[in-house]
Amino acid sequence: MTSDELTDIEIKLLMEGVFQVYGHDFRDYSEASLRRRLTNWLSGSGFATLSLAQSHLLRDRALFDTLLRGITVNVSEMFRDPAFFKAIREQVVPYLKTYPFIKIWHAGCASGEEAYSMAILLLEEGLRGRFRIYATDINEEVIRKAHEGIYPLQEMQNFTRNYQHAGGTGSFSDYYTARYDHAILTPMLRENIVFAAHSLAVDADFGEMNLILCRNVMIYFKKQLKERVLGLFDSSLSPGGFLCLGTKESLDHRHISNHFEEIKPRTQIYRKRYAKK
């Protein structure tokens, strides 16, 4: 047996234990990325193998939290993939404006950058008071960060550039206050955002959403977990609602033809079909 094969067995056993003890289900995450991330965690942990770490991880919540941080990839940016936000502004917002109230779910929101970007976009489109954003993530630590809305000042240059390329109509610096080496987002942006812990692998759907964003999350999932998550989104979206994936993600043929259609090729923005009468 090769050392990689042995590691895969250790990962399977550990993930089963983690699910039983903590309720976090990583059993259907893609093996390659899980192996990479756990090997990284291991190298800084002081344990020689995952088997040796296992009994400690299952008994020590604080140690497990370090593993959770190691497994989840929490990188994000404001107005990440500006062309995507431009497409939302130009091709989705006109539909949203026809609804009396708009419900949006950011699934896998990391530290909140995407949700705040959406709030800015909707405010600039004159929708203040007409939307609520539910922003969820499996990692409670990043949810706390998201709620604070404080980011390193050095990132503002990149965020500003993204904002401009995404068709921002104001001045990005109006949305934050610089304090030492941090940028504090203006509290008004948080008014309509609810941040909460939620796992796409074990928790239930959200009702009656008009727009769901789940970008750069399912790339880490195996086929069966992707199927579960797409089922959650399908049942959470109102007919005519929009589902947005990341630039490297797409719906497979079955989902597109049965339930969704892409609003324009390669936008990764899909619209849920109305039921046939």
Residues 106-165 that bind ligand SAM (CB under 6 A): 108-110, 114, 137-139, 142
Least Å from the CB of residue 129 to ligand SAM:
25
Of 130 and 141, nearer to ligand SAM (C-beta) is: 141
* CB-based contacts of 250, cutoff 8 Å, min separation 6: 268
Options 48, 75, 204, 275; binder of ligand SAM; rule CB under 6 A: 75
Q: How far apart are CA 265 and CA 269, in angstroms?
A: 9
State the minimum distance, in angstroms, from the CB of residue 243 to ligand SAM: 13
Q: Is residue 184 left, alpha or beta, with left meaning phi > 0 and alpha meaning psi from -120 to 50? A: beta
- Which positions from 167 through 196 interact with ligand SAM, judged by CB under 6 A? none
Per CB under 6 A, the list member of 58, 73, 150, 256 interacting with ligand SAM is 73
Query: Which residue's CB is nearer to ligand SAM, number 72 or number 210?
Result: 72
Q: Is 103 in the site for ligand SAM (CB under 6 A)?
A: no
Angle at 274 between CA 270 and CA 275, to 5 degrees: 130
Give the x/- contact pattern for ligand SAM in 239-258, rule: CB under 6 A.
Answer: -------x------------
Measured CA to CA, the distance from residue 221 to residue 122 in angstroms comes to 30
Smallest gap from Cβ 67 to ligand SAM, in A, equals 13
Closest CB to ligand SAM among residues 104, 201:
201
d(CA 211, CA 233): 10
Nearer residue to ligand SAM within complex by CB, 241 or 246:
246
Determine, following the binding rule CB under 6 A, whether residue 82 of this chain makes contact with ligand SAM.
no
| Dist. CA 275–CA 10, nearest whole Å | 46
Q: Total residues contacting ligand SAM (rule CB under 6 A)? A: 21
**47 or 65: whose CB is closer to ligand SAM?**
65
Cβ of residue 57: shortest distance to ligand SAM, in angstroms? 18
Find out whether 270 and 241 touch, Cβ atoms under 8 Å: no
- Does 28 interact with ligand SAM (rule: CB under 6 A)? no
Closest CA to 229 of 268, 200, 197: 200
Task: Answer whether 150's CB lies under 8 Å from 184's CB.
Answer: yes
Residue 158 in tokens? 């990149």
Question: What is the binding site for ligand SAM (CB under 6 A)?
Answer: 72-76, 80, 108-110, 114, 137-139, 142, 199-201, 215-217, 246
